Structure 1
Amino acid sequence: MSSSRFRKPPFSKPEFRKNRLVAAACVVAAVTAVAACSSGGGSGSTGSSGSNSNTGTVTVAVVSNPLMTGQMIPLTQSVFEKQNPGIKVKFVTYTEGDLRAAIEKDVSTHSNSFNVVMIGPYDAPLFAKNGWLVDLTKQYAASDTSYDAADLLPPIAKSLSYKGDLYASPFYGESSMLFYNKALLQAAGVTLPLHPTWTQVQAAAAKVNQPGKVSGICLRGLAGWGDNMAALDTVINTFGGQWYDMNWKAQLDSPAVSQAVNFYVNLVKQYGEPGASNDSFNQLLTLYGQGKCAMWYDATVAATSIASNYPSVFAQTGYSFAPVEKTSSSGWLWSWALGIPQGVNDQGAAWKWISWATSKQYDTLVAQKYGWSAVPPGTRTSLYNNPSYQKAASAFADITLKSIDGTDPQHPTVNPVPYVGVQFVDIPQFETLGLTVGQQIAGAIAGTESVSQALQAAQSAASAYTPQELSGSN
Structure 2
Amino acid sequence: MMNSIRISATSIACLAFSATLSTAVADTITIATVDNGDMVRMQALTEHFTKDNPDTTVEWVTLDENTLRQRATTDIATGGGQFDVVTIGTYEASIWAERGWLMPLDDLPGNYDIGDLLPPIRSGLSHDGVLFGAPFYGESSFTMYRTDLFEQAGLEMPDEPTWDFIKEAANTLTDRDKGVSGICLRGKAGWGENMALLTSMANSYGASWFDMDWKPQLDSEAWNSALTTYADLLKNNGPVEASTKGYQENLALFQQGQCAIWIDATAAGQFVTNKESTVADSVGFAMAPDNGLGKRANWLWAWALAIPQSTDSKESAKKFVAWATSKEYLALVAETDGWASVPPGTRKSLYENPEYQKVPFAAMTLASIEAADPTKPTVEEVPYTGVQFVAMPEFTGIATAVGQQFANVLEDAATIEDALKNSQWVTEKQMVRVEMLNR
With normalisation by structure 2, the TM-score equals 0.91
CA contact (8 A) 1:60 1:117 kept: yes
Q: Distance in 2 between matches of 1:471 and 1:323?
A: 39
Displacement of 1:407 in angstroms is 0.9
Match of 2:398 in 1: 433
Match of 2:299 in 1: 332
Match of 2:79 in 1: 110
Match of 1:198 in 2: 163
Q: Distance in 1 between matches of 2:435 and 2:393?
A: 9
Give the AA of the match of 2:313. D
1:383 matched to 2:354: no
Q: Distance in 2 between matches of 1:297 and 1:210?
A: 18
For residues 254-265 of structure 1, the aligned pairs below 5 Å read 254-265=220-231
1:318 matched to 2:276: no
CA contact (8 A) 1:65 1:282 kept: no
SS, match of residue 429 in structure 2: coil
SS, match of residue 381 in structure 2: coil
- Deviations along 1:15-45, one digit per CA (max 9) or x if unpaired, are xxxxxxxxxxxxxxxxxxxxxxxxxxxxxx9
CA contact (8 A) 2:189 2:195 kept: yes
Q: 1:239 aligns with which of 170, 181, 205?
A: 205
Q: Distance in 1 between matches of 2:73 and 2:203?
A: 27
Q: Distance in 2 between matches of 1:262 and 1:366?
A: 42
Q: 2:90 aligns with which of 107, 118, 121?
A: 121
- Deviations along 1:288-333, one digit per CA (max 9) or x if unpaired, are 1111101100001110222334355222111110100022433100
For residues 242-321 of structure 1, the aligned pairs below 5 Å read 242-310=208-276, 312-321=278-287
Displacement of 1:420 in angstroms is 0.4
Q: Distance in 1 between matches of 2:421 and 2:56?
A: 52
Give the AA of the match of 1:175. S
Give the AA of the match of 2:176. P
- Deviations along 1:269-291, one digit per CA (max 9) or x if unpaired, are 11111122122212111111111
Displacement of 1:173 in angstroms is 0.2
Displacement of 1:448 in angstroms is 2.1
Give the AA of the match of 2:31. V
Q: 1:456 to 1:187 in 2, by over 3 A?
A: same
Q: Distance in 2 between matches of 1:427 and 1:183?
A: 43
SS, match of residue 266 in structure 1: helix
Match of 2:388 in 1: 423
Give the AA of the match of 1:236. A
Give the AA of the match of 1:193. P
Match of 2:105 in 1: 136
SS, match of residue 154 in structure 2: coil
Q: Distance in 1 between matches of 2:349 and 2:200?
A: 29
Displacement of 1:396 in angstroms is 1.3
Displacement of 1:232 in angstroms is 0.7
SS, match of residue 122 in structure 1: helix
Match of 2:53 in 1: 84
Q: 1:73 aligns with which of 43, 46, 55?
A: 43
For residues 207-222 of structure 1, the aligned pairs below 5 Å read 207-211=172-176, 213-222=179-188
CA contact (8 A) 1:248 1:467 kept: no
CA contact (8 A) 1:177 1:297 kept: yes
Match of 1:152 in 2: 117
Q: 1:88 to 1:308 in 2, by over 3 A?
A: farther
Q: 1:247 to 1:342 in 2, by over 3 A?
A: same
Displacement of 1:221 in angstroms is 1.0
Displacement of 1:145 in angstroms is 1.2
Q: Distance in 1 between matches of 2:367 and 2:437?
A: 34
Match of 1:447 in 2: 412
CA RMSD, aligned part only? 1.9
For residues 57-68 of structure 1, the aligned pairs below 5 Å read 57-68=28-39
Q: What is the aligned length?
A: 415
CA contact (8 A) 2:273 2:283 kept: no
**Normalized per residue, which structure has more helix?**
2
CA contact (8 A) 1:58 1:88 kept: yes
Q: 1:426 to 1:365 in 2, by over 3 A?
A: same
Match of 1:94 in 2: 63
Structure 2: runs of 5 or more not aligned: 1-19
- Deviations along 1:20-77, one digit per CA (max 9) or x if unpaired, are xxxxxxxxxxxxxxxxxxxxxxxxx99xxxxx8x6421111111111112x111111x
Q: 2:364 aligns with which of 396, 399, 406?
A: 399
- Deviations along 1:235-266, one digit per CA (max 9) or x if unpaired, are 11111111111111111011111111121122
1:373 matched to 2:351: no
Q: 1:397 to 1:91 in 2, by over 3 A?
A: same
CA contact (8 A) 2:118 2:346 kept: yes
CA contact (8 A) 1:190 1:207 kept: no
Match of 1:37 in 2: none
- Deviations along 1:185-239, one digit per CA (max 9) or x if unpaired, are 2222222100000111011000000125001011011111111100111111111
Displacement of 1:91 in angstroms is 1.6
Give the AA of the match of 2:33. V
Q: Distance in 2 between matches of 1:101 and 1:432?
A: 12
Match of 2:27 in 1: 56
SS, match of residue 386 in structure 2: coil
Q: Distance in 2 between matches of 1:370 and 1:218?
A: 28
Between the aligned residues of both structures, percent identity stands at 43
Give the AA of the match of 1:74. A
Q: Distance in 2 between matches of 1:88 and 1:116?
A: 13
- Deviations along 1:394-446, one digit per CA (max 9) or x if unpaired, are x2111111111111111111111111011000111002111111111112122
Q: Distance in 2 between matches of 1:454 and 1:94?
A: 31
Q: 1:468 to 1:385 in 2, by over 3 A?
A: same
CA contact (8 A) 1:248 1:470 kept: no
With normalisation by structure 1, the TM-score equals 0.84
Structure 1: runs of 5 or more not aligned: 1-44, 47-51
